[in-house]
Amino acid sequence: MLSPSTDPRPISATIAAVLREQQVLLVRRAHAPDAGWWGFPGGKINHGETLFEAATRELVEETGVSAAPLRVFTAVDAFDHDATGALRRHFILIAVLFRWTAGEPIARDDALEARWFDLAALHESGLALSRDVAELAEQAAALMAEVAP
């Protein structure tokens, strides 16, 4: 069921899958969807922005990390429901693979925390991960191995 005040159209957004060696950069989200959960830095695409521009802007705004965008590699759905289960917003998250270039993460903007996590430990970490984060991180790592110089 859709809340009456909500625009029924999906919202386009990007997520930045940033890899550094065998680590992935994640943020603990401050706002819905998935407030308090760990996921990729990202957010809505502004009018006139390319996917790479939007993902890079969101990455810097949320973490201060510099990274080079390499390619779009998948898209996933994210749903924001209210306490009654009614759908408030539907996001389509377009994942962009990045290679880290500089900086250590500092939580900024709408991120509560930002830090590097070992790829191998994501499944066993016990972290409150947003849907598909571990799988997308693995997919990003496999792609990085293909595009690495």
pLDDT of 125 reads: 73
Q: Tell me what the pLDDT averaged over the chain comes to.
A: 92
Please determine, for residue 108, whether its predicted confidence score (pLDDT) is greater than 90.
Answer: yes
Closest CA to 98 of 46, 38, 42: 42
Which residues are CB-neighbours of 27 under 8 A, at least 6 positions away? 38, 39, 40, 41, 62, 63, 105, 107, 111, 112, 113, 114
120 in Cβ contact with 23 (< 8 Å): no
Per-residue pLDDT band for 2 (boundaries 50, 70, 90) equals very low
1 pLDDT higher than 60? no
Q: Is the pLDDT of residue 80 over 70?
A: yes
Q: Calculate the alpha carbon distances from 67 to 4, 86, 98, 116, 121 in Å.
A: 40, 37, 6, 14, 23
Superfamily name with CATH number, domain 11-147: Nucleoside Triphosphate Pyrophosphohydrolase (3.90.79.10)
Give the phi and the psi of residue 67 in degrees, each rounded to 5: -155, 155
User: Residue 147 and residue 58: Cα distance in Å, rounded?
Assistant: 23
Residue 38, pLDDT score: 96
Q: Which tens digit of pLDDT belongs to each residue from 26-74? A: 999 998 778 899 999 999 999 999 999 999 999 999 999 999 999 999 9
What is the average pLDDT across 66-93?
94
First to last CA, the chain: 48
- 83 vs 18, which has greater pLDDT? 18
Evaluate the CA torsion angle 36, 37, 41, 42 in order and state its sign.
negative
* CA–CA separation, 148 and 4 (whole Å): 48
pLDDT tens by residue, 3-31: 444 568 999 999 999 999 999 999 999 98
Q: What pLDDT score was predicted for residue 117?
A: 96
Report whether pLDDT(140) > 50: yes
Statement: residue 85 has pLDDT above 80: yes
> What pTM did the predictor assign?
0.91
